[in-house]
Structure 1
Amino acid sequence: MTDSVRIEAMFRTAMEVLRDSPEPLTKRQVTDAVASSFDFTPYENHRDRQGRPRWEVMLGWQTGNAATIGWIIKRDSRWSLTEAGFDALETYPGAKLYTEMARRHHEIRKQRQQAHDQLSGNEQLIADALAVVAGGSWTSYQDLAKAVDLPEEQLSHFLAHVDIPGAYRVANEDGTLPGDGMRHFRYRGGDIAQRLKAEGATFDTQGRLAADDLVPWWEIRDRLRQLPPTAPEAPVQRAWLVRGSSVDGRDLVPIWLHKGSASLAASSLQEISIPIARDELKAIVEDNYQHKSYAVRETKLAEFDAFCNRMRPGDYVLTTTQGKTYVGRITGDAAYVASSDKRSNLRRSVEWLNPTAPVPFANLPQPLPAKLHSQSDVVELTENIGAIEELLAALDIDLGDAAPEPTKELAFPAIGQDLADAILVDRAQLQRFADLLWENKQLILYGPPGTGKTFIARKLAGSLGEPSAIKLVQFHPSYTYEDFFEGFRPVQRADGQLAFELRPGPFRQLVEAARQHPSDPYILIIDEINRANLAKVFGELYFLLEYRDDAIGLLYSGETDFTLPPNVFVIGTMNTTDRSIALVDAAMRRRFRFVELHPGLDPVKGLLGRWLERLRKDDEAAVHNLDAPEVLDALNVRIEDHDLAIGPSYLMKPEIYRREDGLADVWETAILPLLAEHHYGSPPSVLDRYRLASLRRGLAAPE
């Protein structure tokens, strides 16, 4: 056949060349030997964008698969046959050799499917793409991002935080190896260059991976299409906002609804062939829009790339006009049309699903209202597909698809009596804390030291969310936005030079995880929240704490429509001895609900007595210092400042009650030094009224 590659015969020839060689061969020696044995058809000899013939590319894929199953070794830029490879040549005649290799490789892919299925949708795409980058080859972050239709920043985030096989084969565009900060922890600290060399990858004299071994984005896509799926997979569906309400002063939405289309103006864009490589498109935009600012050119490139290359038939599309929203499905590929008015040069056909029943902004499911306020002409809404399907259900629109699995509703579980019993706090009190957190999203537990603020925060969060959905950070005076959310961090490149990469902080990581699991509560605990400059740490995110339904632009990443998911909650703890609650600014008061934990108020009041009673039942040796609750109460009576009281946590340690001098030790080493700090500059005698002996004498004195 003229439109196929005789890969079975070529693969066998390559194996025989390796078998007959007394020493390992280079990749070029193998391909040259195969080339001398065939008269190639025009189809087989067709060159790709790197000038490589089609047969050579396919042979590289299949020898990579043979290396995966253990028939070929690719090490130190040399190829050789293993014992299993020798046996296979003798066992499987003719084309059966290739068939058996393909079968075994397919079995290995099936074995990896279980771990693969545990990844999220985008992570599965990346894993599939990396699976076709065989040993001895590599790809770049830019090529891999293009192959899977993901932003490069999101791709690099996945590779740094998700364990995806073969991720070490991803390098920078120039062939330099990324720093440890861009790798998953299992690959950090290792000699990645040596690992790649052992697989057959080659490096130039400057330590960069050879361009000949690069697997470009279009080759990854081509091979993904040729590989048989290991399991039925639904196509990835995306969603988009395309603006048409004001295109050079004209509202095109009525025309779109009438003609069943959507378009971009692209008034200065020359005629292009679609799809088009992003690099090629970038060069055209730079040339055609050179009269515009760099910011406009970057925006146009992103919009044109999304419209021409990333959108696909079946994707949802939304548009707005006069405060109302229309939703549809893309039904055709992008096309360049030289429109007479220059208002719709790029077009796609769209089936509009509610042309006569637009939805007012106020009636849209969250977070769509915030997303639709973005100023870009094309905005990806893929992470909000759930909200779009909720909208379609409200409109009673049946797309003829299989009914989706019912989703779990976001909710806090009720506080159980077992938690209340475990921490000796009234269940109704704990339920009140949970209700306040649910209603306002942000809660602060404040009070003097030793009142169990962090302990209760962690126990409460643990009862409301899964352990993997809870993160704790501690603020301090030097804590910054870059530490908390995201910022540029120095990393050492393979050539020894320092570079700066945008890295996510703990809050950003929590937010992105929450987006992946919208039905589960994600809770951030901020210990000592008042010890940092909150305006500096939260930056523009301060706005989102109060206006959860809105979006805002980010300082570093350039995102213009960042939102906080509704399933993200924040619990802060505040020690009133560090900074009085009265000094908290009004902006913070508006964004948080405040609950006081004080030794004289429930649920802390009487906590030490309840704990000690339980301890005595469980520990026969706990027979000393049983007057600790009364002594602590007497101490707090003598401390005149409400915010400087001492909480019971200092005395909730079993060893205090097993030794006769246990309470005295804690008093002298923990409580009195704290009070001495509060009375800094006063005569030492001021502490006498707080000493253990003085308090006990006061309790023993007759009334």
Structure 2
Amino acid sequence: MADSVRIEAMFRTAMEVLRDSPEPLTKRQVTEAIASRFKFTPYEDQRDDHGRPRWEVMLGWRTGDAGTVGWITKRDGQWALTEPGIDALETYSEAELFAELLRRYQEIRKHRIQAHKALSGSEQLLANALGAVPGGSWTSYRDLAEATGLPEEQLSHFLAHVDIPGAYRVAYEDGTLPSDGMRHFRYRGGDIARRLKAEGATFDDQGRLAAEDHVTGGEIRERLAQLPPADPESQVQRAWLVRGSSVDGRDLVPIWLHKESASLAASSLQEIPIPVPRDELKAIVEDNYQHKSYAVRETKLAEFDAFCNRMRPGDYVLTTTQGKTYVGRITGDAAYVASSDKRSNLRRSVEWLNPTAPVPFANLPQPLPAKLHSQSDVVELTENIGAIEELLAALDIDLGDAAPDPTKELAFPTISQDLADEILVDLTQLQRLADLLWENKQLILYGPPGTGKTFIARKLAGNLAEPSAIKLVQFHPSYTYEDFFEGFRPVQRADGQLAFELRPGPFRQLVEAARQHPSDPYILIIDEINRANLAKVFGELYFLLEYRDDAIGLLYSGETDFTLPPNVFVIGTMNTTDRSIALVDAAMRRRFRFVELHPNLDPVKGLLGRWLERLRKDDEAAVHNLDAPEVLDTLNARIEDHDLAIGPSYLMKPGVYRREDGLADVWETAILPLLAEHHYGSPPSVLDRYRLASLRRGPAAPE
């Protein structure tokens, strides 16, 4: 009992205190009542970083569980026992009461974990970690990063874009609530402080969450370790890359395969107990590796923490040597074994699944080849479990598990005839655009104004992807990488202080959404793509547009192995009056396929006539200006510059044909001003050749 907390007795006492009170009690009143009835052992009274005794922390967890199962209510800082709580207290003995609490909580947790299975591996880790933060408590982004091993910036992106229950309980380290932009949309615009207070959380005079309700990263890990698994198959399976091909100049992979193991050198690491709390491990690494740079120490801490604390039996593990990959399953806990050559002090047993059939890099499913190029000795691959299982299936390796649900293959749907009829474009031409986009991932529609570039891009995207999987942005001269992908933005915190937060741009949001649904196409439409400095806007992402199978490091978030999912596609539109296609640099030409939309070329050629024919059938009032197609053709014949032609969209408006002066209005207010801009500096008489009366007289240009 010296190294345990009498939590069963304390929990029942807390329930009795609430039952016997004529009115609700505060958390402080409950803990004071407990303190008056128990003489605490040194272990129970051991304090954490916030000065809270261990027994109080654990009691907070269990009363939070009681709130989850409906035995206790915590509203506006006031605790009370419910009728089901009173029934449970009167029905069960001390041990039975606690066992029943755990059983009921595990039932709820089991359903939550099943719901989490739709999330990616990293997001499941977050969901489980947040499940260890009970109502009335809160944690910080940094604590979640410590508990899960995810980069803090990446974690904040997940919480902003993925619906994970309990995410509103995450704040900044000082207890300040994050801005709406850092929350998932379901929590935006609501009174989060009020919601937290209703659960029992308290705030100080400056509007910050109280330190006494703070659940640290270490506490999250400790609580998850204490919870019995709700279901063996509901546990989140992780995947890892462990490097062994060059450990102090020696390839250890053949030894691993022979001895069915994997290891880390940890050559300067003292003997440690395993598992070891991360904060203790950090202090040990800082001491043992003080002769190394801070960057090396941070890397070693992450690697040792992953190998000793976060890996567990059943996880996948990959390793590489000589351009080939081996995959296995971890079968044992980590152990410290002092090796004579200092090349394998930390070890785990591994069942290697393809020891005689390594897979060449070129045959690995995406995005594994890019991920395996990471420089670290331990890399988490949990997000890529689908690719690993695809690899195992290709190797015909039977893991004895239930067959996974078949996944839908990524593909574009066939272009429908209904779409072709709707936009009056030939079906084969639309299918060609779709095929070009599929083959090259990036496509640009370019041409003069009024040729329907953006219209066709949006209609095409709408046929190929769901509306929620399409995002449109418009570039302009001041558009930047920070606007497009991610950057730090000033935000005002709840305490009035100004801070900078890393915020995702539209492209990052689309990419993260695409990762969650790898079988569905996601399409980014960039209108006026040539109006921005593309090298500046895309930054390091420019590389990935051409080399989709590789990974790069990101400028702000610190991710070192960022990839573009294969289900992300880009359609750009380019107005040739702003910048001729001939001026586009070679780098951009390599990354995009270019399709011209011009009034003299299909599919735009004859479009106005086809549209007008349909309008006349549907609108009896459309009886004026029926010579518009011929007038437009004559105009474009008189415009000598191919890139300055006028597209039919200006004239595809029903009002032009319902009024006798409708065409003249469009000509005087839209088309002639555009042509005047093209001829800026020329005598006014140059516009006479483009006037409506002149064009109607015939194809010959006036003298």
How far did residue 92 of structure 1 move?
6.7
What's the TM-score once normalised by structure 2's chain length?
Answer: 0.91
Amino acid at match of 2:86: L
> Which residue of the partner structure matches residue 89 of structure 1?
86
Question: Does 2:373 align with 1:378?
Answer: no
How far did residue 479 of structure 1 move?
0.7
1:219-252: per-residue Cα shift (whole Å, max 9, x none)? 4345456668888853222222211111111111
Structure 1 window deviating more from structure 2 (225-234 vs 418-427): it is 225-234
> Which residue of the partner structure matches residue 598 of structure 1?
598
Change (3 A) 1:377 1:652: same
Amino acid at match of 2:555: L
> Which residue of the partner structure matches residue 664 of structure 1?
664
- Whole-Å separation in 1 of the counterparts to 2:108 and 2:214: 24
- Whole-Å separation in 1 of the counterparts to 2:607 and 2:412: 26
Secondary structure of the structure 2 residue equivalent to 1:362 = helix
Does the CA contact (< 8 Å) of 1:5 and 1:43 recur in 2? no
Structure 1 window deviating more from structure 2 (359-368 vs 21-30): it is 21-30
1:131-187: per-residue Cα shift (whole Å, max 9, x none)? 443332212222233444533223211222234343222122233333333223444
1:312-336: per-residue Cα shift (whole Å, max 9, x none)? 2222222222222222211112222
Structure 1 window deviating more from structure 2 (527-536 vs 461-470): it is 461-470
Amino acid at match of 1:360: P
1:97-152: per-residue Cα shift (whole Å, max 9, x none)? 95898888788778978976765554454344434433322122222334445332
Change (3 A) 1:92 1:203: closer
Structure 1 window deviating more from structure 2 (15-24 vs 530-539): it is 15-24
Does the CA contact (< 8 Å) of 1:242 and 1:262 recur in 2? yes
Question: Does 2:274 align with 1:274?
Answer: yes
Does the CA contact (< 8 Å) of 1:238 and 1:316 recur in 2? yes
Change (3 A) 1:311 1:124: closer
Does the CA contact (< 8 Å) of 1:328 and 1:353 recur in 2? yes
Does the CA contact (< 8 Å) of 1:75 and 1:199 recur in 2? yes
Secondary structure of the structure 1 residue equivalent to 2:473 = strand
Secondary structure of the structure 1 residue equivalent to 2:698 = helix
> Which residue of the partner structure matches residue 456 of structure 2?
456
Change (3 A) 1:227 1:370: closer
- Whole-Å separation in 2 of the counterparts to 1:258 and 1:69: 50
- Whole-Å separation in 1 of the counterparts to 2:401 and 2:597: 53
> Which residue of the partner structure matches residue 143 of structure 2?
143
> Which residue of the partner structure matches residue 486 of structure 2?
486
- Whole-Å separation in 2 of the counterparts to 1:347 and 1:91: 47
> Which residue of the partner structure matches residue 515 of structure 2?
515
Does the CA contact (< 8 Å) of 2:4 and 2:44 recur in 1? no
Q: How many residues align?
A: 697
Does the CA contact (< 8 Å) of 2:15 and 2:89 recur in 1? no
Within a 5 Å distance, the mapping from 1:1-12 to structure 2 comes to 11=11
Secondary structure of the structure 1 residue equivalent to 2:297 = helix
> Which residue of the partner structure matches residue 249 of structure 1?
249
Structure 1 window deviating more from structure 2 (665-674 vs 270-279): it is 270-279
Secondary structure of the structure 2 residue equivalent to 1:348 = strand
> Which residue of the partner structure matches residue 162 of structure 2?
162
RMSD over equivalenced CA pairs, Å:
3.2
Change (3 A) 1:390 1:169: closer
Does the CA contact (< 8 Å) of 2:417 and 2:427 recur in 1? yes
Secondary structure of the structure 1 residue equivalent to 2:396 = coil
Structure 1 window deviating more from structure 2 (316-325 vs 204-213): it is 204-213
Does the CA contact (< 8 Å) of 2:124 and 2:236 recur in 1? no
Amino acid at match of 2:391: L
Within a 5 Å distance, the mapping from 1:49-448 to structure 2 comes to 49=48, 56-67=56-67, 72-80=72-80, 85=82, 89=86, 93-95=90-92, 119-120=119-120, 122-224=122-224, 233-448=233-448
How far did residue 338 of structure 1 move?
1.6
Change (3 A) 1:291 1:554: same
Secondary structure of the structure 2 residue equivalent to 1:556 = coil
How far did residue 476 of structure 1 move?
0.6
- Whole-Å separation in 2 of the counterparts to 1:247 and 1:62: 46
How far did residue 610 of structure 1 move?
0.6
- Whole-Å separation in 2 of the counterparts to 1:590 and 1:512: 25
> Which residue of the partner structure matches residue 681 of structure 2?
681
Segments of 5+ residues of structure 2 without an aligned counterpart are: none
Structure 1 window deviating more from structure 2 (92-101 vs 53-62): it is 92-101
Does the CA contact (< 8 Å) of 1:485 and 1:504 recur in 2? yes
Secondary structure of the structure 2 residue equivalent to 1:93 = helix
- Whole-Å separation in 1 of the counterparts to 2:460 and 2:492: 41
How far did residue 608 of structure 1 move?
0.7
Within a 5 Å distance, the mapping from 1:539-578 to structure 2 comes to 539-578=539-578
- Whole-Å separation in 1 of the counterparts to 2:547 and 2:440: 11
Amino acid at match of 1:624: H
How far did residue 37 of structure 1 move?
4.6
Change (3 A) 1:493 1:149: same
Does the CA contact (< 8 Å) of 2:450 and 2:646 recur in 1? yes
Amino acid at match of 2:588: M
1:182-206: per-residue Cα shift (whole Å, max 9, x none)? 2234444555445434443233455
1:594-633: per-residue Cα shift (whole Å, max 9, x none)? 1000000000000011111111111112111111111111
Does the CA contact (< 8 Å) of 1:598 and 1:604 recur in 2? yes
Change (3 A) 1:130 1:355: closer
Change (3 A) 1:233 1:401: closer
Segments of 5+ residues of structure 1 without an aligned counterpart are: none
Structure 1 window deviating more from structure 2 (603-612 vs 65-74): it is 65-74
